Amino acid sequence: MKTRAIILAGGEGTRLGVLTAKRTKPAVPFAGKYRIIDFTLSNCVNSDLFDVMIIAQYRPQSLIEHLGSGAPWDLNRDFTGGIRIYTPYKSQTAGWFSGTADAVQQNFRFIKRSDPDLILILSGDHIYSMDYSALIRYHLNNQADLTMATIRVPIEEASRFGIVGVDADHRVTSFVEKPADPPSNLANMGVYLFNRDVLDDTLWRDHLRKDSSHDFGKDALPELVHNGARVFAYPYDGYWVDVGTVNTYWEAHMELLKTPPSINLHNRSWIMHTRTEERPPVMLHKNSIVADSMICDGCTIESGAQVINSILSPGVYVHSGAVIREAILFTDCVVEKNASITRAILDKRVLVGENARIGDITPGDIKITMVGKNSIVPPHSIIEAGGILGTDLIASDYTKKTVKSDETLITRRQSYEF
């Protein structure tokens, strides 16, 4: 049976704030050296699936640059699969995708080329390890029309997900998207394995419905279950997280630093592949302190600096006396002398001036401080816990020394000025 994987990678990820101001959610960095989409892509190749389509939409430039020809994932193939990226195009019948089902529908003539038997539809913005070959076997053994992966979530969080009802044989009997009062905690993971003909018919029926938002979770899947199709739930009991909010994104990183970590990035039998660039080895100066942290290539930590429970992406430079705690710093950030960063996320190429203070630990509440890409934090500035600095800020954008908690500062310049 020939399987083609479709990764939906067009999400705006608005709840991630400044991290998606210049990139789509699947392209957001994760765990220092990876992007979020790397986990889904690596699951594909580790499951011997080398025929992969990416459907993008929102700010795809960073994603396209990262994926390139697909070589880091062994997907730079011309005749036996490989990776292909599709974005919206304007025609008499097509335009911007209005939902996940519409995104697949508009690209279905490309999807069915080379006549695949099964279509595996995946989200490009989840962190997890899954062997899709086991899912395929489960699907075939049940003679299913559709198999969806499911996971148990805390009942207090169940309203964030599509909730699945099943019988004793794991056949799906009900499906409701993000119910206010969840009937159970069995959640849809956004992993769907369709027989191609079933998917074709499902998309066409959804396309004809004038009251549909053309989304799999809201429309297409509940209709399929309602019509009595053979839909089965594949139970998954490993680690899986939708890093869709700032807090869940930060918490997922902190879970990586626990013993044991939430997901094993050192498993040589299930490698997480990514695009990397050559960087020199990490340099730790005498009397620097690094504890319970992940430090990527090219980082320098000077004497007297401290990095505790934090993740540093490639090329981060921490000057003497600086203290970083429970923070995530993206590529090529620079932290000047005696600066303090606590419970914060700094995007790429942020410059933190001497004696600046970013974030804090707020008793009884987790407030994550954010700094956007390419921004400068002037010396002696104070960014209180929960404060947000937008992208491309320079010293003249600051009218006062302190940015208050839950306050947002954006540049006063026009876009053509930077």
The pLDDT tens digits for 27-79 are 999 999 999 999 999 999 999 999 999 999 899 999 999 999 999 999 998 76
Cα–Cα nearest to 130, from 256, 221, 237: 237
Q: Are residues 250 and 341 in the same domain?
A: no
CATH number at residue 35: 3.90.550.10
Q: Are residues 306 and 398 in the same domain?
A: yes
- The helix (run of H) or strand (run of E) holding residue 377 is strand 376-377
State the pLDDT at residue 78: 76
CATH number at residue 367: 2.160.10.10
Q: Are residues 341 and 388 in the same domain?
A: yes
Residues of the chain with pLDDT under 70: 79, 90-95, 415-418
Residue 196 is assigned to a structural domain of this protein: yes
Q: Are residues 233 and 342 in the same domain?
A: no
Q: Are 138 and 114 in contact (CB under 8 A)?
A: no
Residue 349 is assigned to a structural domain of this protein: yes
State the pLDDT at residue 351: 98
State the pLDDT at residue 293: 98
State the pLDDT at residue 354: 98
Residue 314 is assigned to a structural domain of this protein: yes
Residue 268 is assigned to a structural domain of this protein: no
Say which DSSP state 171 is in.
B
State the pLDDT at residue 327: 98
State the pLDDT at residue 250: 97
Q: Are residues 231 and 346 in the same domain?
A: no
Residue 369 is assigned to a structural domain of this protein: yes
Residue 272 is assigned to a structural domain of this protein: no
- Note every long-range contact of 384-387, with CB atoms under 8 Å and residues 24 or more positions apart, other chains counting: 384/359, 384/360, 385/342, 385/343, 385/359, 385/360, 385/361, 386/362, 387/359
Residue 40 is assigned to a structural domain of this protein: yes
Residue 128 is assigned to a structural domain of this protein: yes
Domain count, the chain: 2
Q: Of 237, 256, 275, which residue is a domain's last?
A: 256
State the pLDDT at residue 364: 84
State the pLDDT at residue 417: 67
Cα–Cα nearest to 133, from 147, 113, 123, 112: 147
Give the Cβ contact number of residue 362 at 10 Å: 14
The pLDDT tens digits for 177-214 are 999 999 999 999 999 999 999 999 999 888 878 888 88
Cα–Cα nearest to 280, from 314, 331, 306, 307: 314
Domain that holds residue 322: 283-417
State the pLDDT at residue 383: 98
State the pLDDT at residue 98: 73
The DSSP result for 271-314, as a single string, is ---------PPPEE-TT-EEES-EE-TT-EE-TT-EEES-EE-T
Q: Are residues 237 and 289 in the same domain?
A: no
Contacts of 35 (CB under 8 A, 6+ apart): 26, 27, 28, 29, 63, 66, 274
